Amino acid sequence: MRLILTNIGQLVTLAGAKGPRVGDQMRSLSILEDVAVVCENGKIVEILPSGNLRPTFRSKEAYVDVAGRVVTPGLIDAHTHLVFAGTRIEEYEMRILGSSYSEIAALGGGIRSTVRRTQALDEDELLDESRQHLEMMLACGTTTAEVKSGYGLSKKDELKILRVVRRLAEEARADLVPTFLGAHEIPDEYRSDRDGYVRLVIEEMLPAVSAEGLARYCDVFCEERVFSLEEARAILLAARSYGLGLRLHADQLTLSGGAALAAELRAATADHLEQIGESEMTLLRDAEVMPVLLPGSVFHLGLKKYPLARRMIDLGLAVVIATDFNPGSSPTPSLPMVMSLACTQMQMTPAEALTACTINAACSLGMEDSVGSIEVGKQADLVVFNCTDYRQIPYFFGMNLVRMVIKRGKVLDLAFDGKRI
């Protein structure tokens, strides 16, 4: 089956040197104008001027005239918690009225309240709910996503979540990269036995996750009142011994040393980083750890301190942006919205923002050979936006400009009709 997109006004290819883009490279998008893209067997096989296209009228050929619109690579969301049950609207309201995220968590709300709801669903029910989250993301142009567990916090429920990720991935609407985040919070029944929970993660959960091949990465929420540096180090070193790559929730609410730990362990990414300063940025750069910045959570928690993306780019870090899609701190499935926040709140240019959620995000997941840019030989993952200049993607906000999503050469039927949450 061949799919041909014609009359592309701007084809934002992101083609370029291999590896993560840093510094000025983040602004170079390699845009082609008035071109067509030919996809065959799920891959991009040719890019040519629209005028050179000669229809062959083969029976297995579909033409889509995009009428001068913008086409980008399928967006890549390198940090999500998309498998969860319910919402946290009560806490949203409490925060508006003055309580803080940490206070609510300390009182038994926060992550633990989503854990209770997620544990209550069986695997099929959780799959149904998570599928709706994925459809929301697809409708916003995401075709590849990292997905963390972390709302199970028991061996049985963490495995259940990772199996849901695997089944969703098998439905093949998106590429999903599973991350084990058993150390997301201390569950209710271990509040007076933290060591016991860390042992459970290391001695029971990790071996089981590994035996079933359910995760590619391991993550820990390293934060005051959650997991300490020492606990995080022990869990991540154990994960590495099972062959998992490392990611880390680091220095989100307090400067607790997570970024330095990510550098020490040469993790793939250090995520959040709202609180880090110059010296931690240098450590990350020198260890080639990619910062994954999540402005949606700063926005939704009503906080003011966004991570210093401008400074990171100027220092030569390969910045990634992601949604952090989760019910507590960032209930948005939309990378275009995150791009808007990156531009207006973190002084990233529209080009840098797009680089950060395409090719750099792909590199952070070790997937740059197949996704993240529009190049012959790569997977045909494409998004058609209803605009004529890519800068309009972050410029318009609070609306969805996505017109069409193509995954592995197939136009997706965006069935999302508004989830009844």
Of these partners, ligand NIG, Fe ion, none, which one is at the site of residue 77 (CB under 5 to 8 Å by kind)? none
Closest distance of CB 258 from ligand NIG, Å: 11
Mark 183-222 with x for binding to ligand NIG (rule: CB under 6 A) and - for no binding.
--------------------------------------x-
- Contact call for residue 324 and Fe ion (CB under 5 A): yes
Contact assessment for residue 57 and residue 51, using Cβ atoms and an 8 Å cutoff: no
- Which of 298, 294, 12, 341 minimizes the C-alpha distance to 146? 294
Q: For the residues of 379-392, what is the DSSP string, one character each?
A: B--EEEESSSSTTH
Least distance (Å) between residue 80 CB and Fe ion:
8
* C-beta closer to Fe ion: residue 221 or 385: 221
111 touches ligand NIG (CB under 6 A): yes
Contact between 258 and ligand NIG per CB under 6 A: no
Bridge partners, residue 40, by sequence: 2, 43
Distance CA 58, CA 166 (A): 36
Does 328 interact with ligand NIG (rule: CB under 6 A)?
yes
Dist. CA 87–CA 145, nearest whole Å: 21
Q: Which stretch binds ligand NIG (CB under 6 A): 158-166, 302-310, 322-330, 364-372?
A: 322-330
d(CA 327, CA 292): 19
Which residue lies nearer to ligand NIG by CB, 175 or 223?
223
Between CA 21 and CA 359 the distance in angstroms is: 8
- What is 104-152 written as a DSSP string? HHHTT-THHHHHHHHHTS-HHHHHHHHHHHHHHHHHTTEEEEEEE--S-
C-alpha distance across the termini of the chain, in Å: 37
- Closer CB to ligand NIG, residue 9 or residue 307? 307
For ligand NIG (CB under 6 A), the number of binding residues is: 13
Of 292, 305, 277, nearest to 219 by C-alpha is 292
Site string for ligand NIG, 291-310 (x = CB under 6 A): ------x-------------
Nearest residue relative to Fe ion (C-beta): 324
Cα–Cα–Cα angle for 178, 179, 180, rounded to 5 degrees: 125
Q: Which does 10 bind (CB under 5 to 8 A by kind): Fe ion, ligand NIG, none?
A: none
Region from 64-72, 174-182, 317-325, 364-372 binding Fe ion, contact rule CB under 5 A: 317-325
Kindly state the smallest distance separating residue 314's Cβ from ligand NIG, in Å: 25
Which is closer to ligand NIG, CB of 77 or CB of 368? 77
> Which residues pair with residue 11 across a beta bridge?
32, 71
Give dist(CA 211, CA 52) in Å, integer. 52
173 binds ligand NIG (CB under 6 A): no
Minimum distance of ligand NIG from residue 374's CB (angstroms):
30
Binding segment for ligand NIG among 5-13, 49-57, 162-170, 320-328 (CB under 6 A)? 320-328
Amino acid (one-letter) located at 294: L
Q: Does 13 bind ligand NIG (CB under 6 A)?
A: no
Instruction: Name which of 251 and 280 has its Cβ closer to ligand NIG.
Output: 251
